Amino acid sequence: MPANPFDAVIDACGTATHSYSPDDALRVIDWYRGMPDLIEAVAQMLTAQGAKTTEEFYLHPAAGQFAMGLGDQLRLYSEACHAARAAFERAHAADLDRIRNPRPHEAKWNYDPSGAR
């Protein structure tokens, strides 16, 4: 039986699912930063494959148009991803500022936001 043409993408998503751990704020920031790229990559793949299906193989144009339309719809989520990142940045602005711009020798103050000693 022929391989699923999406096996590599599916495997990569599985690996990303199991390897992701929001260990710290920088990892979460990276997650929000990378999410639009993921959406765009999958959208481009669907759009390109839909076009090739009808251009390079005799198939009713509706089949390729479906995949291309799916890519276009998915691409719209990229804007929502950017909005989610902006909301995250606004909600945690003070915390993110401390991470991005630490004060000199701040670690020596034994700062623990939980209050635990």
Question: What pLDDT, on a 0 to 100 scale, did the predictor assign at position 102?
Answer: 85
Please give the average per-residue pLDDT across 89-102, as a whole number: 89
Residue 2 lies in a domain: no
Question: Is residue 45 in a domain?
Answer: yes
pTM here is 0.73
Q: What is the mean pLDDT of residues 44-57?
A: 89
Q: Taking residues 73-95, what's their average pLDDT?
A: 90
How many other C-beta atoms can be found within 10 angstroms of the C-beta atom of residue 63?
13
Q: What angle do CA 10, 40, 11 make, to 5 degrees?
A: 10
**Based on the structure, what is the number of domains in the chain?**
1
pLDDT for the residue 22: 84
Structural domain includes residue 92: yes
Contacts of 64 (CB under 8 A, 6+ apart): 50, 51, 52, 53, 54, 55
87 domain residue, yes or no: yes
Give domain status of residue 6, yes or no: no
Token pair recorded at residue 52: 């090739």
Is 70 within a domain?
yes
Residue 1 has pLDDT above 70, yes or no: no
Whether 109 maps to a domain, the answer reads no
Find the mean pLDDT for residues 73-89: 90
In the predicted structure, residue 42 carries a pLDDT above the cut 90:
yes
Q: What rounded mean pLDDT belongs to the chain?
A: 87
Q: How many residues can be counted in the chain?
A: 117
pLDDT, position 116: 67
Answer whether residue 91 is part of any domain: yes
